[in-house]
Amino acid sequence: MDLHRRVIEDGAVAFSPASGHLLAVGPATQLRADYPTAELVDCVDRIVLPGFVNTHTHLFQTLLKGLGDDRVLADWFTAMTGPSAVELTEEDCYAAALHGCAEALTTGTTTLVDFMYVHPRPGLGDAVAAAMDEVGIRAVMARGYVTAGTDVGVPTELVQTLDVALADAQRLIDRWNRPGSRVRVGLAPCMSWTVDAATLRETRALADATAALVTMHLAESPFDVTESQRRFGMRDVPFAAATGLLGPDLLAVHCVQCDEHDIDLLAAHDAKVSHNPCSNLYLGSGIAPIPRMQRRGITVGLASDGPASSSNHSMLQAMKFAALIHKGALRDAEIMTAEKALEMATIDGAAALGMQDVIGSLEPGKRADVVVAGLSSLCLTPLHQPVSALVYSARGDEVDRVYVDGRLVVRGGAPVLVNPSEVRRRSAAAASALTDRAGTAALARRAWRSMIVS
């Protein structure tokens, strides 16, 4: 994913575990000669590529997989996600983040943005950041907040005053956003029907003061747009522009309902977009006009979204859906290639986070975030085109080794720094207790449903 998008056969990557930097990329014979004393890792029948960048997820939703089926966004939130969020504890958030980050690493993701917007009690953001650090992933814990919305079903327990929310965000930024930190903190006003104008103005001020990433759900569902028009007299993208939130450091999530004026505003402010194809289909929200945005020069990264609306943290699945849905929706087989889907999951995702000089490609001087995946499975063979095979055929279990900052964090497809059996045990216990407290356990025992006829 370098400037020339090279695919090197019989290639090699050299990096320093001590510094965490990539040293060289090129033919294996040349690198063996240049680094004769280096430890060798056999990558025969494997592909070595930059780690995937997941620009949007909700780690707490790892505990909610499969509970939100067949609901549109507003109903999904009020019937399942909201009641569950009210009951979250530090242990829940830690267990969910530990599981979610481990799952992400084992499917090739080395960087993710967790949009952590629910804080019914103190310490939840700390628990998530601590789990990120322990697993070894590179991450942004975007400290989100809900400052309005009780009139449309947002539980009062999730609504914070702006002063309290921003004070906690500042505290977390002071703790985590140190030079060279692998885990950082961003800012995340939730969505148009859960904030007011002051929230977005003050978010912009804090972002400017701290250089923190800003991210917000925008134009995800028809309800988002109509509710913004009702509350503020304008759609949510123009509302974000009017309050000063739009800018090069804003990561706008979803943007499914964007019209031409919305796209004009995003392009004019050099805002970035996070494309979540699996979630948008799962919730029936629609298909974002991503090719139109890309033609306007907007940087678009890729994302899984939270497991309550996508059921996993797999960027391989996100790449496949991104490569396919626009072909079908626009009846244009050339509109989105496998290569572009991989770019969106790597270098474009890095650029969406303002990290294109640090991660997203295998180039000397960048951080050694490296994925080694097998190419010899029945699913991928006979192998003609590695990128096509990766995007359209890979399942995730092809991932063999993963390095973050030159540190081995996945070996043999399993996390190295945490015990996967203990991670599963802990998250299962937390999920069971959470659904009992939230009164959502019945959602897991629903009757069989075939086609729904309206």
**DSSP run (H or E) holding 200:** helix 197-210
State the chain's mean pLDDT as an integer: 96
Residue 448: per-residue pLDDT: 85
Distance CA 244, CA 221 (A): 22
Is 435 among the domain residues?
no
Contact assessment for residue 114 and residue 97, using Cβ atoms and an 8 Å cutoff: yes
Query: What is the distance between the alpha carbons of residues 386 and 389, in angstroms, rounded to a whole number?
Result: 5
pLDDT per residue as tens digits for the range 390-440: 999 999 999 999 999 999 999 999 999 999 999 999 999 999 999 999 999
d(C-alpha 453, C-alpha 371), whole Å? 45
User: Do both 28 and 60 map to the same domain?
Assistant: no
pLDDT digits (tens, 9 = 90+) for 151-192: 999 999 999 999 999 999 999 999 999 999 999 999 999 999
Of all residues in the chain, what percent carry a pLDDT higher than 70?
99
Does 231 share its domain with 327?
yes
Are 184 and 246 found together in one domain? yes
pLDDT at site 266? 99
Q: What is the pLDDT of residues 340-381, one digit of tens each?
A: 999 999 999 999 999 999 999 999 999 999 999 999 999 999
Q: What is the mean pLDDT of residues 266-283?
A: 98
Q: Is residue 314 part of a domain?
A: yes
What are the tens digits of pLDDT across the range 30-45? Answer: 999 999 999 999 999 9
The pLDDT, as a whole number, for residue 363 is 97
Ordered DSSP codes for 375-405: --STTT-S-S-HHHHHHHH--STTEEEEEET
- CB-hemisphere CA count at 13 Å for 20? 13
Burial profile 67-96: b = 16 or more Cβ within 10 angstroms, e = fewer? bbeebebbebbebbbbbbbbbbbbebbbbb
User: Does residue 363 belong to any structural domain of this protein?
Assistant: no
Q: How confident is the model at residue 1 (pLDDT cuts 50, 70, 90)?
A: low
CATH number of the domain residue 81 falls in: 3.20.20.140
| 50, 388, 436 from 316: Cα distances, Å | 13, 11, 32
Same domain, 184 and 312: yes
pLDDT tier, 207 (very low <50, low <70, confident <90, very high otherwise): very high
453 pLDDT band (50/70/90 cuts)? low
- Clarify whether residues 168 and 246 are in a common domain: yes
| 164 and 260 together in one domain | yes
Q: How confident is the model at residue 2 (pLDDT cuts 50, 70, 90)?
A: confident
**Which value, in Å, is the radius of gyration of the alpha carbons in the chain?**
21
113 and 215 within one domain: yes
Examine the domain organization and report whether 100 and 202 are in the same domain: yes
User: Quick one: 15 and 88 in the same domain?
Assistant: no
Q: What pLDDT score was predicted for residue 35?
A: 97
Q: Which domain holds residue 19?
A: 1-37
Q: In the prediction, which pLDDT does 356 show?
A: 97
Q: What is the pLDDT of residue 444?
A: 86
In terms of domains, do 33 and 62 share one?
no
> For the chain, what is the domain count?
2
Q: Which of 352, 386, 406 is the last residue of a domain?
A: 352
**Does position 454 have pLDDT exceeding 70, yes or no?**
no
Distance CA 161, CA 184 (A): 23
